[in-house]
Structure 1
Amino acid sequence: MSVQPIEDAGDSVPRNAEGIAAALSGARRMEFYRELLAAAPQDAEAVLRRWWCEAVLDVGQARGDQLTAAALAGTLPLRSVASVIEHRRAAGLPVE
């Protein structure tokens, strides 16, 4: 049996307008900018928070699509369960 580590997409999307826009596709990016520019100053933070969540989901979906394609193509890098257990033990994490 093998495992594949999953990266946290939230770490890859900066929590600012530029980072959010970079993570979104063209049409969604334009929708984000329209909503942000139309928001009252007191609502801008809520718009950024909501769209950051959307951007993280988009990045996660793209990463999932890449993992699926690599698995189907047989090119997915794998680690043995034994190496994961050893890594967790070395880090002081539970292995049960």
Structure 2
Amino acid sequence: MSAQPGRPHQPDRVPRNAEGIAAALSGERRMEFYRQLLAAAPEDAEAVLRRWWCEAMLDTDPDADRITRAALDGSLPTATLDEVVSHRRELGLPVD
């Protein structure tokens, strides 16, 4: 089994800043993002941004419905953690 992604990663789909994240989220989720960000201590703000950036990337994934169907019907390709780490190292990507 290959650990290669089925499609290229598009990190710029959602900018990694509060404005980009908020723009990608819908009504109630956007308000929850802002609530958590405003309530966070300065040293925790980066973790809030990182968490919600991941949420925004999932929310805006054009293949989300197909991936969900594949996961539910058991046809979603999988890889071991070792395969993923090895692949990321080959590409020069962080693995921490």
TM over 0.5: yes
2:59 corresponds to 1:58: yes
Conserved? CA contact 2:14–2:20, under 8 Å? yes
Task: Give the percent of matched residue pairs that are identical in Structure 1 and Structure 2.
Answer: 70
Displacement over 4 Å in runs of 4+: none
1:3-50, Cα deviation, whole Å (9 max, x unpaired): xx9564432100000000000011100000000000000000000000
Once residues 19 and 41 of structure 2 are traced to their aligned partners in structure 1, the CA distance between those partners, rounded to angstroms, is: 19
Task: Indicate the structure with greater strand content.
Answer: 1
Structure 1 residues without counterparts, runs of 5 or longer: 68-96
- Name the aligned partner's letter for residue 37 of structure 2: L
Note closer, same or farther for the CA distance 1:34–1:59 as it changes in structure 2 (3 Å cut): same
Map of 2:25 onto structure 1: 24
Once residues 7 and 37 of structure 1 are traced to their aligned partners in structure 2, the CA distance between those partners, rounded to angstroms, is: 33
Please tell me the root mean square deviation across aligned C-alpha atoms, in Å: 2.0
- Give the SS at the match of 1:49: helix
Note closer, same or farther for the CA distance 1:7–1:29 as it changes in structure 2 (3 Å cut): farther
Note closer, same or farther for the CA distance 1:54–1:65 as it changes in structure 2 (3 Å cut): closer
Question: Matched residue pairs, number?
Answer: 61
- Give the SS at the match of 2:45: helix
2:33 corresponds to 1:39: no
Structure 2 residues without counterparts, runs of 5 or longer: 1-5, 67-96
Conserved? CA contact 2:21–2:52, under 8 Å? yes
* Greater Rg by CA: 1
TM-score (norm: length of structure 1):
0.56
